[in-house]
Amino acid sequence: MVRGFGVGAAAAGLVVAAGATAPGARADILDVIIDPIIDPMMSALSAGMSDLGGAAAALGVGGLADVGSATSVSADPLGGVDAALVGVVQDLNSVVNGVAQDWITSPIGGPVDKVINAPFVLVFGRDLIGNGINDFTGTNDSLLGSSGLFGNLGDGGFLIGNGTRATGGH
């Protein structure tokens, strides 16, 4: 009994000592170097932009009077990047889908896709490249497709194809 108490007390002492001697928090490189540089610049830029509209109005420079109110410095300078990236990705997706649809429906793409898709139809019951078969009502009885997780020949391809311009074949 006494021996077990000593081990427990020693373990508790180690835990308490480790917590008591924990080092204080330190700022990282961003807090120490970059923030002191960026913060004054952002404040000055914000103040300058708010004064720009008043200066333009005082000079009587027509449409420039609204510049200060229309332009502001955000606390998050990269805030608009998300929306811009979404637009770029959507544009890229449209181009890739257009090229893919042209390939799928082309006289060369159709026969080549049949060769590429054969193993995927056998294993999954679904094309890799293709738009699927319009009004397909059959069951997927392929090796893994019968589980219902992979769709069927009526669905677009795993990689390319969405079924919007299906040609009646896969």
| β-sheet bridge partners, residue 129 | 160
Closest by CA to 116, choosing from 170, 80, 78, 50, is 170
Helix spans in the chain (H): 2-20, 29, 35-59, 67-70, 81-104, 109-124
Whole-model pTM? 0.43
Instruction: Annotate 96-137 with DSSP letters as a single string.
Output: HHHHHHHHHTSTTHHHHHHHHHHHHHHHHSS-SBS---TT--
Within 10 Å of residue 53's Cβ, how many Cβ atoms?
17
73 phi and psi angles, rounded to 5 deg: -95, 125
Domain range summary for the chain, segments of one domain joined by +? 28-76, 78-170
Spatial distance between the Cα atoms of 161 and 126, rounded to a whole number of angstroms: 11
- One digit per residue, the tens of pLDDT, for the chain of length 170 reads 455 555 556 665 655 555 555 555 566 666 667 777 777 777 766 665 655 555 555 555 555 545 555 555 556 666 677 778 888 889 998 898 888 889 888 999 989 999 998 998 888 888 888 888 777 787 888 888 778 787 777 778 888 887 544 444 44
